[in-house]
Amino acid sequence: MEQNGAARWKWALLAVLCICMVPLVILAAYCYPCADDFRFGLYPHLAFEQTGSVWAALAGAAREVHETYFDWQGTFSAVLLFALQPAVFGEGLYWLCPAVMLSALFWGAARMFRAGAKLFCMPKGTAALACLVYLLVCTQLVQSPAQAFYWWNGAVYYVFFYALMLVLAARVLRMLAGRRTARHTAATALLALFVCGGNYVTALLSLELLALAALAAACRRHAALKSVLAVLACAGAAFAVNAAAPGNAVRQAADYGSAVLPGALGAVLRSFPEALRFAAGHLSPLVCLALCFLAPFFWHAAGRPGAFRAPLPGLASALAACWFASSFTPTLYAMGSIGPDRVQNIQFFLLVLLLILLEFYWLCWARRALARGLCAHTKAMRLARRLVPVYLGLCVTAAAGTAALYVATGHTEKLACASAACSLWNGTAGRYSELMQAREQVLAGPEDVAVLPRITQETLVPALFFDDIVSDASDWKNEAMAAYYGKSMVVPEKVP
């Protein structure tokens, strides 16, 4: 595969990605806060409403972090972001939620593939192509777009921290490649501290990655060892503070007190079959076609002078599998299950990333192992190179056909862009927005008890909607919304 061919496909994929992102970007104008957004944003919202000061809102966020640490959960950096959800500073700013989440995911992926290209001696064009394929798969096949991009609390807790984890990994790889200035180390250490103060999935993954980097540096007597150890120490300290929070036990008793939990060892052991089940369930035809599409580009890159040597591919695969399986351990330990869709979103992102990297690794190893045999079959190799455009065309045609089949059979929920476009086209998104604006008018009124229009099937947007208030005014979601808007009670209209 010639580099000019890779460049042409890169621009074509960029165009496809931009087209697929259009409905998702437009849908940003129709998203509104819900559930935990009101609960964690209460203090900053009241402070900003009363003073108009961003500093007062930040003080309110700090108060929320302090109280939550002792009465609910220890994820201090995540709670800080929970509290600063965009609607705190104005109801019309919540569109920033998908803007921030998508930008973070794109940024993290770009940094990771750029650093990975240097580590694996991958041509820049091939790395850019792989990054575009990765982003296309992640944004379009994500399990729950609502919890990945459009609901601040769930999205910032997992997708945003996952993106930061990718940036952290990229910075550590740069450190191992020779970037070891005090400024770079300090910034990386602060990032590690922030990431490990978030959700336990990305915190554990980051700690494992840093430990592996430190081990690799120690085995090779690398000059970066001290810098990596400093970053690891900051990450470990943040994780310890996170895990030691008194609020963790409070939440455990409140939400999962009656659940049968497997314990630490049981959670680790259960992680492997759960990871295998998850991977098998998410290797959809489109994911497989994406991997098939990348194969010729990776094969060509593996044959370049100075290509990656790919030592011990079996060991690399085993380490990747263990790392992926560990993403299931925190929720199995705390909840006894693999967790809600917002957790599974980033597990899917991680799965696709590892599959792409391992595909390149194994193809580099295979090309090196078969080098002598390939040299003896030059005619067959030339024929194979001529057939590559046909092969790529078949991959693209199959992918387009599969996507069209999803839409034609009414399974638009399997493609984020199709689901968003459908909601915009049939007017559901508009009706949902009108209903939410009507709610805002009621909540802004003088009535002490707010009776809000009920979300129905005709106003439900699957890509946007996560959760809502219920008929029971004492439910935590109702109470959180009531406190946020200064009402004594908030309930939906009765079902006719």
pLDDT at 225: 87
pLDDT at 179: 67
| CB distance 147 to 466 below 8 Å | yes
pLDDT at 157: 96
| CB distance 158 to 201 below 8 Å | yes
pLDDT at 130: 95
Q: Tell me the C-alpha to C-alpha distance, in Å, between residue 274 and each of 23, 211, 316.
A: 33, 24, 20
Q: What are the tokens at 66? A: 């302090």
The rounded distance, in Å, linking the Cα atoms of 104 and 156 is 10
Q: Tell me the C-alpha to C-alpha distance, in Å, between residue 227 and each of 153, 213, 219, 235.
A: 33, 11, 15, 13
- In 420-471, the DSSP E strands lie at 449-452
The strand pairing partners of 449, in sequence order, are 489
pLDDT at 384: 67
35-37-40 Cα angle (round to 5): 110
pLDDT at 383: 65
pLDDT at 307: 75
The H or E element spanning position 399 is: helix 378-408
For residue 146, the Cα-to-chain-centroid distance in whole angstroms is 12
- The pTM score is 0.94
Location of structure tokens 């004492």: 474
Q: Which mean pLDDT values do the consecutive 10-residue runs of the chain (496 residues) have?
A: 69 94 95 92 95 94 95 93 95 94 96 89 90 96 94 95 96 83 90 95 96 89 86 95 90 74 88 95 94 92 80 92 95 88 95 96 87 60 75 92 91 91 92 92 91 88 86 91 93 82
